[in-house]
């Protein structure tokens, strides 16, 4: 199944890392100012979405959805909803974590939205890779400097961490006490993270 890659306007500096995981089979959606990254990423849009408040409409020979400036959904969230309508199951978001904290948190919440729809989603920025841990175990390969587990949805129970420097069995993490920061995969192996109840944001730090 083709993966949908959504490119936003937030800062991207580590182009080489991102380019290594992009493929010619990906479906590329550029959101508004994210179009400035076309040349640096070496890809062309299959779809353009935006209200063009952070960049001009390039009037390319590409399907373009022009949005009103006053709306409930951000350009990125609209792009995700549109991609879901088109049947994509896997999503990669880049250029969505930056100096606007409000936009960053809104974009991270998209991962929860995708998970609620039964879709696989991840975010990659210059420093980390993020995904949601919910009803299936997630593995963290060796090679990341650290990984952290953050609760964004109330209370997560039955948390299990195996193959890590700080293991956990039947743990609980609340939004008020985020103690799952800066864990490490044991040398020569991979960590496994699972949760019985709730959802966790897994942040793998490069």
Q: Is the pLDDT of residue 161 over 90?
A: yes
The answer to whether 18 and 42 have CB atoms below 8 angstroms apart is no
pLDDT digits (tens, 9 = 90+) for 55-112: 777 889 999 999 988 899 999 999 999 999 999 999 999 999 999 999 999 999 999 9
pLDDT at 59: 83
Domains annotated on the chain, with CATH: 3-126 (3.40.50.10240), 133-205 (2.60.120.320)
Q: What pLDDT, on a 0 to 100 scale, did the predictor assign at position 54?
A: 75
Q: What is the pLDDT of residues 1-60, one digit of tens each?
A: 899 999 999 999 999 999 999 999 999 999 999 999 999 999 999 999 999 887 777 889
Which of 23, 29, 143 has the alpha carbon at shortest distance from 75?
29
Question: Phi and psi (nearest 5°) for 64?
Answer: -130, 130
3-state secondary structure of 55: coil
Q: Please tell me the distance from the alpha carbon of residue 114 to that of residue 50, in angstroms, as a whole number.
A: 20
| Structure-token match 């609340």, residue found | 174
Residue 92 neighbours by CB under 8 Å, 6+ apart: 3, 4, 5, 6, 21, 26, 121, 122, 123, 124
Residue 19, CB-side half-sphere exposure with 13 Å CA sphere? 13
Secondary structure of 72-109 in HEC code, one letter for each residue: CCCHHHHHHHHHHHCCCCEEEEECCCCCCHHHHHHHHH
Q: What is the pLDDT of residue 57?
A: 76
Q: What pTM, to 2 d.p., does this model score?
A: 0.94
Give the mean pLDDT of 139-166.
96
3-state DSSP assignment of residue 20:
coil
Token output for 191: 């960590």
Give the pLDDT score at 69.
86
- d(C-alpha 12, C-alpha 40), whole Å: 10
What pLDDT, on a 0 to 100 scale, did the predictor assign at position 116?
A: 97
């Amino acid at each position: 199944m083709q993966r949908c890659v959504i490119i936003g306007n937030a800062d991207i500096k580590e182009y080489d890392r991102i380019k290594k995981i992009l493929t010619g089979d990906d479906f590329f959606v550029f959101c508004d100012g994210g179009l400035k990254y076309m040349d640096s990423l070496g890809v062309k849009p299959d779809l353009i979405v935006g209200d063009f408040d952070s960049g001009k409409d390039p009037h390319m020979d590409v399907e373009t959805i022009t949005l009103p400036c006053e709306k409930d959904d951000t350009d990125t969230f609209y792009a995700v909803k549109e991609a879901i309508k088109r049947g994509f199951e896997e999503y990669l978001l880049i250029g969505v974590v930056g100096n606007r904290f409000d936009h960053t948190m809104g974009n991270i919440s998209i991962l929860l939205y995708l998970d609620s729809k039964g879709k696989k989603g991840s975010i990659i920025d210059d420093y980390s890779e993020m995904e949601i841990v919910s009803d299936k175990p997630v593995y963290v390969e060796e090679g990341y400097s650290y990984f952290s587990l953050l609760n964004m949805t109330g209370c997560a129970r039955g948390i299990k961490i195996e193959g890590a420097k700080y293991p956990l069995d039947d743990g609980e993490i609340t939004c008020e006490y985020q103690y799952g920061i800066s864990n490490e995969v044991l040398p020569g192996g991979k960590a496994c993270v699972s949760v019985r109840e709730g959802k966790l944001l897994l942040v793998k730090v490069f």
